[in-house]
Amino acid sequence: MKASRREFIRQSSTLAGGIGASQFIPFESIAQNTTVAPSDKIRMGVIGCNGMGWADMRSLLSMPEVDCVGVCDIDQSVLDRRSDDVMKLRGSKPAQYTDYRKLLDDATIDAVVIGTPDHWHPRIFVDALAAGKHIYCEKPVANSIGEAQWMLSAAEKTDRLVQIGQWQRSGPHYEQAIKIVRSGDLGNIRLVKVWAYQGWMKPMEKQPDGNVPEGVDYTMWLGPAPTRPFNPNRFHFNFRWFWDYAGGLMTDWGVHEIDIALYAMNATAPKSIVASGGKLAYPDDPAETPDTLQAVFEYDHFNMLWEHATGIDGGNYGRTEGIAFIGNNATLVVNRGGWEIIPETQYDADKGMTVFKYPAVPAYSKPGNLNYLDLHTQNFIKAIQNNDPGSLKCGIKTGSVAAINAHMGNIAFKTGRKIYWDSARNQFKNDAEATALIQPTYHNGWKYEG
């Protein structure tokens, strides 16, 4: 008798191979879809479902073979809202949890989305692997270098599939750009510029500490972070701008762009990093992470320059975000809207004229009907169905490389000096202060096992 898809997912223990992204499925076509047998459904839970966690789950629900059977959040109002959302889509409400460990105890759940603040990713990730779940984890994978390495080590000891939410990796036009970079036609690439200018970001208004909102388990929200009074500026979306929970724009946007840059250049770890910046745009707002930052990463044969700024949209090459591969023959600029090649010129003495070193190529614009997040979640589900980790567009190893490099940029900023990485010893060279920032400190009874 042929085994059901669910039985195949559970019983599989060997993983290999590779597949491409599936065709985009319009979200509007999936409400209460009954064309997939229950035994072939992939039952999912989402942990942290206020922002990107729900965006990921909603994207996953564009596939009729996926069901959302559990939602977990520390905010009851969020739980109720997402339960209603699932009800509207599928006609039944998922189970609600305020403690992720209870959700993981459900042996019928095949996979989970981790969409919590960054400081919670590692502990939940390792526990989810121990519970036998496949994982779709939001980026950045962790809030420190040590945690990212812990997660990678834990994943390599299991047969579970992990996709990290750096969804640009599933974008066809990024794949095109990477092929051009790797072709060598741009000439020697000595500098890669990576940037995120965020004009929409305005200063936060200072707010006093206050009472925890009704229905919020704030102690659980803090988890391994230091105990502090509740302040609305540190909660929900704005957690990104406080060191206890995240790494600011360097990790929030940086991992997306740095991932593409390093993957295209076949690089993983820098030799040195130096960074400069601070709270230069909004010096009096309560955010801790820098609103303005430049960081230079030195790799073999090229440098990478990261820069970000809030309140400004005028980024490099007229783009608010992107990556520029600067070669002797031409520069390729790619961002979420498409890619463009800007040729270098030289004077041809024989012809008495200026000529381009690279042939003219029309700029490429991303088709408006393609949703790359949907392609990324589809890639995750197809990899599970085919028991095929090699097909994942952004596995844990890839996600950890981007996060580790971004955290190195923040460490260089915090120390205020150039730091040098010793890959063999997994520490910074002759720098006890920088090395001490590799590992996190967990609080409130939570354990770090990296």
Q: Where in the chain is the domain with CATH 3.30.360.10?
A: 171-369+400-426
Task: Work out the average pLDDT over 334-361.
Answer: 87
Which pLDDT does position 37 carry in this prediction?
Answer: 86
Assign 26 a pLDDT band (cuts: 50, 70, 90): very low
377-403 residue pLDDT tens:
999 999 999 999 999 999 999 999 999
Which pLDDT does position 15 carry in this prediction?
Answer: 23
Tell me: domain 5-169+373-394, CATH 3.40.50.720, correct?
A: yes
Say what the pTM is: 0.91
212-221 residue pLDDT tens:
999 999 999 9
Which pLDDT does position 34 carry in this prediction?
Answer: 52
306-323 residue pLDDT tens:
999 999 999 999 999 999
Which of the listed CATH numbers 3.90.198.10, 3.30.360.10, 3.90.1300.10, 3.40.640.10 matches domain 171-369+400-426? 3.30.360.10
3-state SS string for the chain: CCCCHHHHHHHCCCCCCCCCCCCCCCHHHCCCCCCCCHHHCEEEEEECCCCHHHHHHHHHCCCCCEEEEEEECCEHHHHHHHHHHHHHHHCCCCEEECCHHHHHCCCCCCEEEECCCHHHHHHHHHHHHHCCCEEEECCCCCCCHHHHHHHHHHHHCCCCCEEECCHHHHCHHHHHHHHHHHHCCCCCEEEEEEEEEECCCCCCCCCCCCCCCCCECHHHHHCCCCCCCCCHHHCHHHHHHCCCCCCCHHHHCHHHHHHHHHHHCCCCCCCEEEEEEECCCCCCCCCCCCCEEEEEEEECCEEEEEEEEECCCCCHHHCCEEEEEEECCEEEEEECCEEEEEECEEEECCCCEEEECCCCCCCEECCCCCCHHHHHHHHHHHHHHCCCHHHCCCCHHHHHHHHHHHHHHHHHHHHCCCEEEECCCCEECCCHHHHHCCCCCCCCCCCCCC
Which pLDDT does position 262 carry in this prediction?
Answer: 98
Mean per-residue pLDDT of the chain: 92
Residue 339 has pLDDT above 80, yes or no: yes
Q: Where in the chain is the domain with CATH 3.40.50.720?
A: 5-169+373-394
Which pLDDT does position 360 carry in this prediction?
Answer: 87
Task: Work out the average pLDDT over 429-440.
Answer: 98
Task: Work out the average pLDDT over 394-422.
Answer: 98
